[in-house]
Structure 1
Amino acid sequence: MPDYDSLLPLLGRGNAPEEVRHVRELPAREAVTAPWPDLVHPDVVTAYARLGVHEPYRHQARAIEATRGGHVVVATGTASGKSMAYQAPALSAIHAGRLLAESSPGVLQHTEEATALYLAPTKALAADQLASVEALAGGLRVRAHSYDGDTPLEQRRWIRDHADLVLCNPDMLHAGVLPNHPQWSRFLRRLRYVVVDEAHVYRGVFGSHVANVLRRLRRVTALYGSEPVFIGASATSAAPQESFARLLGVADAEVEAVTGDDSPHGPVTVVLWEPEQSGAEGENGAPTRRSVLAESADMLTDLVLKQVRTLAFVGSRRGAETVAQIAHSQLDEVEPGLAHRVAAYRAGFLPEERRELEQQLRDGRLLGLASTSALELGIDVAGLDAVLVAGWPGTRASFFQQIGRAGRAGQQALAAFIAREDPLDTYLVNHHEAIFDVNVEATIFDPSNPYVLAPHLCAAAAEQPLRPADLELFGLAAPGILDSLVRAGQLRRRPSGWFWTRAEAPAAMVSIRAEGGGPLQIVETDSGQILGSIGTGQAHQQTHPGAVYVHQGRSYLVDELDLEHHVVSVSRAHPDFYTMAREVTSVNVLEEQRRESWGRVTVHAGQVQVTSLVVSYQRKALPGHEIIGEEPLDLPPTDLFTKAVWFTVPAPVLAAAGIEEPDLPGTLHAAEHAMIGLLPLLATCDRWDVGGLSTALHADTELPTIFVHDGHPGGAGFAERGYDLAATWLAATRAAIVSCECEHGCPSCVQSPKCGKRNNPLDKAGAVAFLGALLDQAPESSLREGAV
């Protein structure tokens, strides 16, 4: 049994805190090395030796060797050296080709030279990889450069004409490279490798977009006569071979997965932490748990005071700012000299802000950083001693990726998962086996989503007219979608194929990360300075008029939300409150596509129309969270056409469970909230990626009904995953409610932070009885399959 006495006090509660629900020791791992594959050029071997790497780990050697035979995905843990699996073969090919070209100038054809494309989901990761490559390739004939939205225009032509290794992101590939592929012809003809880093991030709608971008890339490279090998790097995930093959649009057999991890890692003590009740009452008089943000800020403060280098992962931009703000204020009172060594990091910062924070974290000037998942990915930060995970990050893969940031230098490290007031968090801190003793989730995305595929077919047709032979690349749904695009006048059909005939560039008309025309710029009214950006889908909720917006610890009030011009105007302010929007929703069934009968209960899946309207916002006090006012809003409704799973239950089943008609609205409402909270246990999503509706009598079903729907146009696969594992989902939901110690329902079980009805009515006991009645009807085979 490891000695926790030296670690737990670091969290600021002594040796045996009441908040600890479980402690798990992840043991240290010894390294296993192997000889360099002969595919790696001797000069590259020498370059690694200069950095102190004399032999690869065994899994790295396996991955490098596998690139001879085709596409490869390396799915191993954080800090396992996945970058070598793609750097070594790519740098070897580029360096060897450049040496040959220099030895016989004007004689060799382009086939003897090589280029490589590196794709990262964030600019920060691409910048980090560029620094890594530059450190490695000092003596090699390699010209590596970043190409993203921050790249100065004057450098872009040089990169197109001369770079061998281009570090990019899917957004720039989609909107900058592929539409202009004739200008990239030199690079594309020589393209030998395409690296897809952090491939597990490409899930949901974003993953569906990226899958189609990669199909377009494969089509364009074929136009120039190249067939690059794709190398994926991923956190440990379920079925990495199948997931990566689906991302690329190739058969499973064309991808080899390397999953064994032979890298060393220091021991990590993982603490599952459930904050105690705060003594305050929340909505409807329910007791509240101490805020995860306050708890995390206290821990961050205590760790920084003890000179423990700490990274705190927080689920939202506002949350990251709040944790850093509180810790900074507390340090300023206790030890002012340390306050400046704590900061926040999130998306939406200007590029120079991000780069400076990353460098300060690397060199130790920062002791504590509160970050969104933007720093979860493979940015190389050695020497971190502790990681705080403030609220479940959505998937086990993300959780282990985050806690793996600590201990990378081989030292003993500490990680703490701090539960939010959320049904899933409550379930996980009380069911540690659901974190540590089951497989990680499958990566879910749907490249055939018509809302995603349609604009990419337009973009592909603009890049090169689509031929009938191209359709296999884009899947079975492509012909029908092409017909609809022709009818809508987006494409023109000719005997030889489909042509884009409009003046606009179709790739520029769609953002692969947001719906509705791309992000909104957040501008300070007085100075005109751009502070950052926000996705269109978040704007109604977070930047409505009167909302409080926080940037780098500074608070602003939203003056105007201009949806037409994609601008949010804000003014500097010092409010002693925060804001929370209220949204009302209706759901209409458009098409039932699947159904399964459980006795008299029926589970459905299909297409729905969700109409949402943000009607008001509350101002809540800081601290204390008391409601100090509510203001109406006049915003336009939004329609979402997506996919849903829904459950219909006839009255006799409810009566047999002891649920009377007056209790039905609260019963269904409580069950719906908890079901939404627990769906991320089974699907790679966050509760904010899905929505729901419950009603005692729905107009389309004419029965008591609970809907859970995807929060993205066309669907993202989350609701369908819920349909496939419905019995397992409901069983976990019921267990989460039962394990919560509250009497009538609280945010840890059946209350929702985004409820448009202000969490009223809710019936916790009724929800337990309702879910039990559904499970009594479920087939035993469904309960056995996919047990959590």
Structure 2
Amino acid sequence: MTIAQYLNALKGFKGLAPDLVCHRTIDAKKARYGDPLDTDPVWQVFQDQGIQRLYEHQARGVALIEKGVHTVIATPTASGKSLVYNLPVLRAIYGDNASCGLYLFPLKALARDQLGTLETLMAGVNAKIADTLTAAVYDGDLSAYHKAKVRNNPPNVLLTNPEMLHLAMLPHHHLWESFFANLKFVVVDEVHTYRGVMGSHMAWVFRRLLRICRHYGAEPVFVFCSATISNPGELSTALTGLAVEVVDADSAPAGKKDVLLMNGASGAAQTAILLMHAAIHRGLRTIVYTQSRKITELIAMWASQRAGDLGSRISAYRAGFLPEERQKIEQRLASGELLAVVTTSALELGIDIGNLDLCILVGYPGTIMSTWQRAGRVGRDGSDAAMILVAHEDALDHFFVNHPAMLFDLPPEQAVINPFNPVIMERHLECAAADLRLDRDERFLDDPAIQIALGRLEADVRLLKSRDGRFWYSARQNPHREVNLRGTGMSIPIFLDGQKKKLGDVDRFRAFYETHWGAVYLHHGSTYLVSEFDHENGRVQVVKERVPYFTRARSTKSTEILSVIHTRQVWQTRVCFGRLRVTDQVTGFEKRSVNNQRSLGVFPLELPPIVFETEGVWIEIPEQVRDCIETRRLHFMGGIHALEHAAIGILPLLVMTDRNDLGGISIPFHPQVGMAAVFVYDGTPGGIGLARQAFEQAEIMLERTFDAIRLCKCDNGCPACVHSPKCGSGNRPIDKGAALEILLALRNEKTTPPVDRFRIYAMGNQQPEPSLPHGSPSLADKLNDLANASPHGLPKPPSRVVKRFGVLDIETRRSAQEVGGWGRAHLMGVSCAVLFDSGINDFRVYLEADVETLVQDLQAFDLVIGFNIKGFDYKVLSGLVSFDLTTIPTLDMLVKVHERLGYRLSLDALARCTLGTSKSADGLAALEWWKQGEIHRIIEYCKQDVKVTRDLYLFGREHGFLVFENKAKKEVCLPVAW
């Protein structure tokens, strides 16, 4: 049966026809071809594959790439984008067999899918030449043996993913020297997926890749492929810092496509199953897209159970399946063995699954771009096809039910990234320095934001500066593994309780909400209860247990305005954009029944607050509006809370994001604003640009929020208008009517715009860096350090100077071996002790008989200084005196070095690099002298140790750093403050 007959039957079916809201037909279009290409052996191979001419956009893209122009191809699905890069890449390799190309795909499955196409083309080229062109996949599914094999003999084209580039290739670029030296092309497929947090990470991965390429003398041409977004060139440039030419005029043919919009009156899932059954019984090959892994599994299971003999021809497909499971489903779908697949967004991208007839969307995908990307998965061969959107009980779905024409008229969204997110930027600067030392002459380091980040990294001893101030080195050999490209922080592993079996990972930031004690964790269709959440050490333990409920975290929030960047009047109020400090604390969790959503109770939790800095937009609610609402006995707090939820729910129409990427808070009186305010902010520490876009479209945001509430047919509020599935207070209080009246007042009443109160927003330097509980010192502290930096860019010492200090070193009579180990230092005895007294600028010498006098003298100093004084000298003295030496103000330089670096350095190593001097002997020699009765030699050696320790202290106090030699044999600076 044809798709047209199927749609006619649908319209005539009484059970579903009343739910049909809109039916529009997108007419077929013919191809437009470019000028014929000159025949060469590579083009002949494409002709042998049945491609006789290039479409106009293909011809233009190929011409740009072959001229060395960085290019983005932004055309719909099935428009032949892969040919645009494969043809020039193969031509270049044909002309120079040493040439290489790097193909980057966001998913491993895409890389393996493209490998087959590339190998077929290469086989055709190889048949015409003596040399052999090669291609290979390099991903985490390869064994260590096969990874080494690829590294040792790199192919002409390497297909990989972002994680492998970040973790395996850039940190170990010396193992890939020939590949990077000959790299001519970098192909970035599905570039529209590199947005938000991942895109912000990838902007730095690409910058790091370019550094490595230039290190080996290569300047590759970048080729980007994108779905239809409104800013493909801007995104590609933001990702790489390169000027990129845009090819977006689609000239490929397309068949007729019918688009239907339906209400899911009996539930979106059940409606989708009915539509799927009707399709597969008519022989129509169908793909069903859902919004979550769980509903994917459920729809596939329910549909199979009710499909009779056809049940085996329906399958689920989602992330989390084993690679071989996914590949088998893809092959069965492409061959026609499967008639229907139910999937998450995992099959939205360009994996080859053959030609399909019908696409069913169980709920709006979240963006216009994704909607048409999914629609493009059907009718790929130019035949007629259809897409049916079945609306969920959700704000965006109901927006399109009430405004069906908008689905066709709205332009695709902009993809937003923020490479200067401070959290992401600092982590990748550290990785870049580990890849290859940073050089102050590198132009990208001149940016003021990067300079501030470098200063912070130095102060944190995550980067170490060379003594001449020219280079930065990473303090750690491999910081890459702590950078999760798809999140902002480290991931926390999830283990089965009492076992070493790892189930998965959760972003540290989300862990407080999703894996707190008592939370229900879902994995592969099974439920687990969290038995332990160790947030300090980063570990979650779960127990497999079947429970009839799910959990939802409860939290409280507060926000502080750090700076106001922009303001504008919208309607009869003011909307502002700026930087915020958000404090979010999970206070408990609620159990809800799976069957009827009924609350089973709220349970308290004691967790530390999460504090982070981000970007936000806020709407001021004037006092006149509040007075009006409360006079009418409406719930003002419930009203602004409902307004907040509706605004967040509708924002994905303006910004390419998911509502989970945004946070919000409504405050009936904010002391800095001087009135009520509704805040919406980027949920990512540092911000990724979502709130900025919302501010730029503030009028549209308020109009659509107003429509979402006004047009919803519910009485008191529902998920389609003002209820949020992730509300920390369980959607209480919520007052839909009050929200509507507040918006009407802001829209229509002649209220006077509030006076400028931004003077009370002034926060000085009190801007903390984004941090999790027990985070590092505030950004304000570090900025103050930088403002008073020494010429080396390191913090100057504090203004308080010790008036009188002493420097102590002790030599013993017995070795650790003789007394039974270092833990028995109190038995070692004293051969001599030397104390430098800054008050008299001279040295004092003590023998064991003088120890009581020594301890009395130590108590007279403002500060006693030593190198391992707490771990050794004081322990030796504790065996000879009863005084509590820990009460003496003491600076142990070895302890401070260890705190800063995470490992120990010797006194001699620091002295040689910092002062150009060294110790005169060592402890073993001093013990030998004691046995020989040469006490004068011990005293001279001990004095030299004290002198070196004193001079290191004075150097560090004056300059704010010491110098040591790192593992790469480079002299670097260690910031100190004493």
- TM-score bin, normalised by smaller chain: 0.7 to 0.9
Q: Is the 8 A contact 2:614 2:685 kept in 1?
A: yes
Q: 1:225 aligns with which of 206, 210, 217?
A: 217
Residue number in structure 2 paired with 1:325: 301
State how far apart, in whole Å, the 2-side matches of 1:243 and 1:447 are. Answer: 11
1:452 to 2:424 alignment: yes
Residue number in structure 1 paired with 2:124: 139
State the 1:176 CA deviation.
1.4
Q: Is the 8 A contact 1:462 1:499 kept in 2?
A: no
Aligned residue for 1:179, secondary structure, equals coil
Q: Is the 8 A contact 1:274 1:418 kept in 2?
A: yes
State the 1:146 CA deviation.
1.2
State the 1:636 CA deviation.
4.5
State how far apart, in whole Å, the 2-side matches of 1:416 and 1:96 are. Answer: 48
Residue number in structure 1 paired with 2:490: 517
Q: CA distance change for structure 1 residues 563 and 657 in 2, over 3 Å: closer, same or farther? A: closer
For residues 750-785 of structure 1, the C-alpha deviation after alignment (integer angstroms, 9 at most, x for no partner) is 111111222222222221222233344899xxxxxx
Residue number in structure 2 paired with 1:44: 42
Aligned residue for 1:417, secondary structure, equals strand
Partner AA of 2:288 in structure 1: A
State the 1:698 CA deviation.
2.2
Aligned residue for 1:138, secondary structure, equals helix
For residues 483-523 of structure 1, the C-alpha deviation after alignment (integer angstroms, 9 at most, x for no partner) is 222222222334453312423312222111123313634x5
State how far apart, in whole Å, the 1-side matches of 2:433 and 2:731 are. Answer: 48
CA RMSD after TM alignment: 2.8
State how far apart, in whole Å, the 2-side matches of 1:586 and 1:92 are. Answer: 59
State how far apart, in whole Å, the 1-side matches of 2:270 and 2:193 are. Answer: 28
Residue number in structure 1 paired with 2:257: 268
Moved more, 46-55 or 222-231: 46-55
Residue number in structure 1 paired with 2:63: 65
Q: CA distance change for structure 1 residues 42 and 559 in 2, over 3 Å: closer, same or farther? A: farther
Aligned residue for 1:429, secondary structure, equals helix
State how far apart, in whole Å, the 1-side matches of 2:510 and 2:115 are. Answer: 32
Q: CA distance change for structure 1 residues 368 and 631 in 2, over 3 Å: closer, same or farther? A: farther
Q: Is the 8 A contact 1:659 1:769 kept in 2?
A: no
Residue number in structure 1 paired with 2:87: 88
State how far apart, in whole Å, the 2-side matches of 1:639 and 1:13 are. Answer: 55
1:257 to 2:249 alignment: no
Q: CA distance change for structure 1 residues 194 and 776 in 2, over 3 Å: closer, same or farther? A: farther
Moved more, 456-465 or 292-301: 292-301
Residue number in structure 2 paired with 1:387: 359
Aligned residue for 2:295, secondary structure, equals helix
State the 1:172 CA deviation.
1.6
Q: 2:314 aligns with which of 342, 353, 378?
A: 342
Structure 2 alignment gaps of length 5 or more: 126-131, 752-978
Q: 1:499 aligns with which of 455, 462, 472?
A: 472
Q: CA distance change for structure 1 residues 500 and 772 in 2, over 3 Å: closer, same or farther? A: farther
Residue number in structure 2 paired with 1:292: 268
State the 1:537 CA deviation.
4.1
Partner AA of 2:726 in structure 1: K
State how far apart, in whole Å, the 2-side matches of 1:715 and 1:294 are. Answer: 39
Mapping 1:288-437, distance limit 5 Å: 290-331=266-307, 335=308, 337-437=309-409
Q: CA distance change for structure 1 residues 588 and 306 in 2, over 3 Å: closer, same or farther? A: farther
Aligned residue for 2:557, secondary structure, equals strand
State the 1:402 CA deviation.
0.9
State how far apart, in whole Å, the 1-side matches of 2:584 and 2:321 are. Answer: 29
1:730 to 2:702 alignment: yes
Partner AA of 2:275 in structure 1: M
Q: 2:692 aligns with which of 720, 745, 766?
A: 720
State the 1:680 CA deviation.
0.7
State the 1:534 CA deviation.
4.2
Q: CA distance change for structure 1 residues 416 and 76 in 2, over 3 Å: closer, same or farther? A: same
Q: Is the 8 A contact 1:610 1:642 kept in 2?
A: yes
State how far apart, in whole Å, the 1-side matches of 2:554 and 2:270 are. Answer: 24
For residues 628-676 of structure 1, the C-alpha deviation after alignment (integer angstroms, 9 at most, x for no partner) is 4554445544333211111122212444578657521011011000000
State how far apart, in whole Å, the 1-side matches of 2:527 and 2:267 are. Answer: 20
TM-score by length of 2: 0.71
Q: CA distance change for structure 1 residues 677 and 125 in 2, over 3 Å: closer, same or farther? A: same
State how far apart, in whole Å, the 1-side matches of 2:631 and 2:405 are. Answer: 32
State how far apart, in whole Å, the 2-side matches of 1:509 and 1:83 are. Answer: 33
State how far apart, in whole Å, the 2-side matches of 1:322 and 1:16 are. Answer: 21
Identity in percent: 37
State how far apart, in whole Å, the 2-side matches of 1:386 and 1:524 are. Answer: 41
Moved more, 366-375 or 464-473: 464-473
Aligned residue for 1:595, secondary structure, equals strand
For residues 375-424 of structure 1, the C-alpha deviation after alignment (integer angstroms, 9 at most, x for no partner) is 11111222212112222222211111011111112222221222222222
State how far apart, in whole Å, the 1-side matches of 2:585 and 2:726 are. Answer: 13
Q: CA distance change for structure 1 residues 488 and 536 in 2, over 3 Å: closer, same or farther? A: closer
State how far apart, in whole Å, the 2-side matches of 1:363 and 1:539 are. Answer: 41
Q: Is the 8 A contact 1:467 1:496 kept in 2?
A: no
State how far apart, in whole Å, the 1-side matches of 2:421 and 2:567 are. Answer: 20
State how far apart, in whole Å, the 2-side matches of 1:263 and 1:214 are. Answer: 30
Mapping 1:147-226, distance limit 5 Å: 147-160=138-151, 161-226=153-218
Q: CA distance change for structure 1 residues 743 and 558 in 2, over 3 Å: closer, same or farther? A: same
Query: Larger Rg: 1 or 2?
Result: 2
Residue number in structure 1 paired with 2:17: 17
Moved more, 566-575 or 183-192: 566-575
Q: Which has the higher contact order (CA 8 A, sep 6+)?
A: 1
Aligned residue for 1:588, secondary structure, equals strand
Q: Is the 8 A contact 1:321 1:552 kept in 2?
A: no
Q: Is the 8 A contact 1:314 1:370 kept in 2?
A: yes
Structure 1 alignment gaps of length 5 or more: 99-112, 277-289, 780-788
Q: Is the 8 A contact 1:59 1:258 kept in 2?
A: yes
Partner AA of 1:171 in structure 2: E
State the 1:524 CA deviation.
5.1
Partner AA of 2:170 in structure 1: L
State how far apart, in whole Å, the 1-side matches of 2:206 and 2:12 are. Answer: 48
State the 1:535 CA deviation.
3.8
Q: Is the 8 A contact 2:629 2:636 kept in 1?
A: no
1:677 to 2:649 alignment: yes
Q: CA distance change for structure 1 residues 777 and 75 in 2, over 3 Å: closer, same or farther? A: farther
Q: CA distance change for structure 1 residues 654 and 62 in 2, over 3 Å: closer, same or farther? A: same
Partner AA of 1:320 in structure 2: T
State how far apart, in whole Å, the 2-side matches of 1:593 and 1:354 are. Answer: 47
For residues 188-218 of structure 1, the C-alpha deviation after alignment (integer angstroms, 9 at most, x for no partner) is 1111110111111111111111111111111
Q: CA distance change for structure 1 residues 412 and 475 in 2, over 3 Å: closer, same or farther? A: farther
State the 1:582 CA deviation.
3.2
Q: CA distance change for structure 1 residues 658 and 554 in 2, over 3 Å: closer, same or farther? A: closer
State the 1:556 CA deviation.
4.4
For residues 259-298 of structure 1, the C-alpha deviation after alignment (integer angstroms, 9 at most, x for no partner) is 111212222211112222xxxxxxxxxxxxx543444344
Moved more, 590-599 or 133-142: 590-599
State how far apart, in whole Å, the 2-side matches of 1:30 and 1:448 are. Answer: 44
